[in-house]
Chain A
């Protein structure tokens, strides 16, 4: 419930803000998908273009037919904010603090595809496959780094109408798997599905011995799957090329370090692109 509340609060301002943001930064190097497809590998290599979503030109309407799929979906975050407790005049409040992305050029989701269906006159998009996760790290103003697995895995997005047109909104929940998977070993060789289950370097703190309980959070690796939420709004539709483009706002939790720390909530805003097939 809290994720949705945050999204409700941040989403309204953010969607409009992101809209303005997107239009203000229509940079010279925003290319359409057909322009990108005409470039060769060497022309794209090293330019950072692969990390950008294509832009869409047009304000048509597309009504997906039965059995249509959304393919080539690209989700590019442009701004990240981490929820922090700010102490002001003795009173602490939770606020989303803008943070700077540390990951270079590999934080965009690409090639996502999924099925579209019409559920009671509203479009429902179910994400199936693609590069739907991107480990990203953002840095807070104090210098602290927050890793997160930016993802839309298993997204079920429900729209508010039967056709894609400028102003169409859809949103839904997705699953955020653990930032580290089971085979990851921490510096003491402890891991989820492999590795030790105690601090082997500390002989006096073997499993079950006194003092081992203090390290329980680090010894006991959990694979935490949490839920995130994304809201997308379409602003451009190109019926000829069957493409849609727009902005999104998403919240999800960051890294829990396999259960040893409390994850921070991260708010992401950016643009997306998709092709209907």
Chain B
């Protein structure tokens, strides 16, 4: 089915291929077809991680304003309030991916023993909530400089 689909595409695409390119690209076409059909299953193009607008973001309280901090969404400057974390450990927390739970923090690659102790010290203040794309992108620099 995939081959038929590609064949149909190639015939319609013929109108867009310039004559000189057509001659040279026959070999390229075959390689490309094989290459792309091999990857056809891999790409899930219709499943982006969008953050749909939430008029009231429920977890706004965990972005640094209160005692409990959401490590998946909070900006790195929030860790300034916890002595010892900023900038090294805070940087590692903010640059590494979404954490399924607070215990996942200890799995950050390259953490030294001392840094793990520091995270342990503040463990009770962390929580790992659902990462929201519009906050995750601003974890290092959210444009708010105080």
Q: A: which residues have CB within 8 A of B?
A: 1-5, 7-13, 15-17, 20, 95-96, 158, 160, 169, 171-173, 175, 177-178, 181-183, 192-193, 197, 220-227, 229, 259
Report the nearest B residue to A158, measured CB to CB.
B39
**What is the chain B residue whose CB lies nearest that of A256?**
B50
Which of B28, B33, B39, B134 meets A192, CB within 8 Å? B134
Complex CA–CA separation, A30 to B9 (angstroms): 37
Residues of B within 8 A of A96 (CB): 16
Q: List 26 A-B contacts (CB under 8 A).
A: A3-B45, A8-B6, A8-B13, A10-B13, A12-B25, A12-B29, A12-B32, A16-B28, A169-B35, A171-B35, A171-B39, A172-B39, A175-B49, A177-B133, A181-B143, A182-B134, A183-B142, A192-B134, A193-B57, A197-B55, A223-B132, A223-B133, A225-B48, A225-B51, A225-B133, A226-B48
List the interface of chain B (C-beta within 8 A of A). Answer: 6, 9-10, 12-13, 16-18, 20-22, 24-25, 28-29, 31-33, 35-36, 39-40, 42-53, 55, 57, 132-135, 137-138, 142-144
Let me know if A4 and B43 touch, CB within 8 A.
Answer: yes
In the complex, which residues of chain B have a beta carbon less than 8 angstroms from the beta carbon of A197?
55
Query: Could you tell me the distance between the alpha carbons of A197 and B22 in the complex, rounded to whole angstroms?
Result: 52
Residue of chain B at shortest CB distance from A159: B35
> Are B50 and A224 interface neighbours, CB within 8 A?
yes
Whole-angstrom CA separation of A4 from B21 in the bound complex? 20
Q: Are B31 and A169 in contact (CB under 8 A)?
A: yes
Q: What are the residues of chain A within 8 A of B32 when measuring CB–CB?
A: 8, 11-12, 15, 169
CA distance A16 to B57 in the complex (A): 48
In the complex, the chain A residue whose C-beta lies closest to that of B43 is: A173
Given A13-B16, A175-B48, A222-B52, is A4 in contact with B36 using a C-beta cutoff of 8 Å?
Answer: yes
Residue of B nearest to A15 (CB): B28
A178 to B52, CA, bound (A): 12
**A95: min CB distance to chain B, Å:** 8
What residue in chain B is nearest A176 (Cβ atoms)?
A: B48
Residues of chain B within 8 A of A2, CB atoms compared: 45
Contact of B49 among A1, A3, A4, A225 (CB under 8 A): A225
Task: Choose from B21, B40, B43, B144 the contact partner of A16 (Cβ within 8 Å).
Answer: B21
